[in-house]
Chains A and B, each alone.
Chain A
Amino acid sequence: MKTDQNGYTIIIGCGRLGANLANALSDAEGNVLIMDKNGDAFRKLSPSFGGLTATADATDIDALQAAGMDKADTVIVVTNNDNVNVMVAQLAREVFHVHEVIARLYDPERECVYQEFGIATICPAILSAKEINKILDRATLVEASDDAGK
């Protein structure tokens, strides 16, 4: 994973995705802070994780301020609640003026809310569908070439 050595990344939500990202960024010697409202969630981080953890509710503006969000270069919002992700991403963008904001949305229909704010959205269902289609395409390609080879 490529990171800017001096960049400061805040990850909101320490689920599987958040923890994986945090581990990878920490291994690449990036400055990372990961926030979750449940302190137990940090058990998912690897023992070598060298970043910061913050047990706080990300919907609280003061908690985001305390985490230094105004100084963050990248904010990645990956809690398991779409509406929290929408709000925190917009707070990061509009209140803290973070340059790069990425959010996960389970429901792609909510994406229209983000459009004018320049927030990148990741939708697992759509990504999975794309990947599955790719595999299917490859399978038909292989079949076709097998047929041609016969």
Chain B
Amino acid sequence: MKKRVLLVGGRSKAKALALSLIHKGYQVTAINETYEDCLKLSEIDGLSVLQGDGTRPFLLEDADAAGMDIVIALTSKDEDNLVICELSKKKFHVAKTVALVTDPKKTDFFYKMGVDRVVCAITVITSIIEQQAFVEEMTNVFPLGEGHVRIAEVPVCGNAPMAGKKLWEINLPQDVIIGCILRGEKVMIPRGDTRILVGDLLILISGNGQEIAAIEELTGRESK
């Protein structure tokens, strides 16, 4: 059976998401408050569209919320997204709810209230911008676990203060480890007495936004 997804609110986000999900084979329903947005959405092939306030229980019922596998709340108001997810969870027993949140400070609160996945656009975008700004130091950064954990590739240049040092001689921040060293074709899982050489590529695993401090320590560059 096709997985069923309900999208509530959101203009271009709902449209882009609906297109992508339908393309991947999901059965998608969208609820939107304004007639114009609904018209736009109804242009998409295979998308069911309902007009109305998605925070009203009867409208969720009309959209068959109880039969949904995933409900995604995309409105611009945090309180509406919270109510949509809570109603889906408690009244319609939806297995997975996803909420967009504008205020990063509310992310934890939303999780506490039982929302399964909370996406904070501001946090995501700022972390991408930050990553782009440090692009000379890092070739790649992969955010994991809501962006709390990052895996970064750090090349060791000739002038780096860490070159030639053993791991235990480097003063890394507490939440950072060097998980792997790529030396040419060789992959090494380092230990305290492993020596870092120029030309190595370090795979850094860091938590709590410590990677920039770690990279400064490793490359000796001050970030501004």
Please report A residues at the B interface, Cβ cutoff 8 Å. Answer: 59-62, 81-84, 86-88, 90-91, 94-95, 107, 109-110, 112-113, 115
Nearest B residue to A86, CB-CB: B83
Nearest A residue to B90, CB-CB: A112
Distance in angstroms between the alpha carbons of A52 and B25 in the assembled complex? 56
Q: A62-B105, A90-B113 are in contact. Are A113 and B79 (CB under 8 A)?
A: no
Q: A60-B103, A112-B91 are in contact. Are A95 and B80 (CB under 8 A)?
A: no
Q: List 20 A-B contacts (CB under 8 A).
A: A59-B78, A61-B109, A83-B79, A83-B80, A84-B79, A86-B82, A87-B79, A87-B82, A87-B83, A91-B109, A94-B112, A94-B113, A107-B56, A107-B57, A110-B55, A110-B83, A112-B87, A113-B86, A113-B91, A115-B90
| B55: chain A residues within 8 A (beta carbon) | 82-83, 110
Q: Does B58 contact A (CB under 8 A)?
A: yes
What is the size category of the interface that chain B forms with chain A?
20 to 34
CB–CB A61/B79 < 8 A: no
| B90: chain A residues within 8 A (beta carbon) | 112-113, 115
| A62: chain B residues within 8 A (beta carbon) | 105
Q: A83-B55, A112-B90 are in contact. Are A59 and B112 (CB under 8 A)?
A: no
Q: Does B106 contact A (CB under 8 A)?
A: yes
Nearest A residue to B106, CB-CB: A61
Q: A61-B103, A94-B109 are in contact. Are A83 and B91 (CB under 8 A)?
A: no
Digit string of B159-173 for contact with A (CB within 8 Å is 1, else 0)? 000000000000000
Digit string of B74-113 for contact with A (CB within 8 Å is 1, else 0)? 0001111011001100110000000000010110010011
Q: A83-B55, A110-B57 are in contact. Are A59 and B109 (CB under 8 A)?
A: no
Please report B residues at the A interface, Cβ cutoff 8 Å. Answer: 55-58, 77-80, 82-83, 86-87, 90-91, 103, 105-106, 109, 112-113
CB–CB B109/A83 < 8 A: no
| A107: chain B residues within 8 A (beta carbon) | 56-57
CB–CB A83/B113 < 8 A: no
Q: From DSSP, what is the main secondary structure of chain A's interface residues?
A: helix
Distance in angstroms between the alpha carbons of A84 and B55 in the assembled complex? 11
Nearest B residue to A85, CB-CB: B79
| A60: chain B residues within 8 A (beta carbon) | 103
Distance in angstroms between the alpha carbons of A59 and B82 in the assembled complex? 12
| B109: chain A residues within 8 A (beta carbon) | 61, 90-91, 94-95
CB distance from B176 to the nearest CB of A (A): 30
CB distance from B99 to the nearest CB of A (A): 11
Q: Which of A59, A61, A87 has the most CB of B within 10 A?
A: A87
CB–CB B58/A109 < 8 A: yes
Distance in angstroms between the alpha carbons of A90 and B113 in the assembled complex? 8
CB distance from A63 to the nearest CB of B (A): 11
CB–CB A86/B106 < 8 A: no
Q: Which of B78, B86, B106, B112 has the most CB of A within 10 A?
A: B86
| A91: chain B residues within 8 A (beta carbon) | 109
| B105: chain A residues within 8 A (beta carbon) | 61-62
Nearest A residue to B113, CB-CB: A90
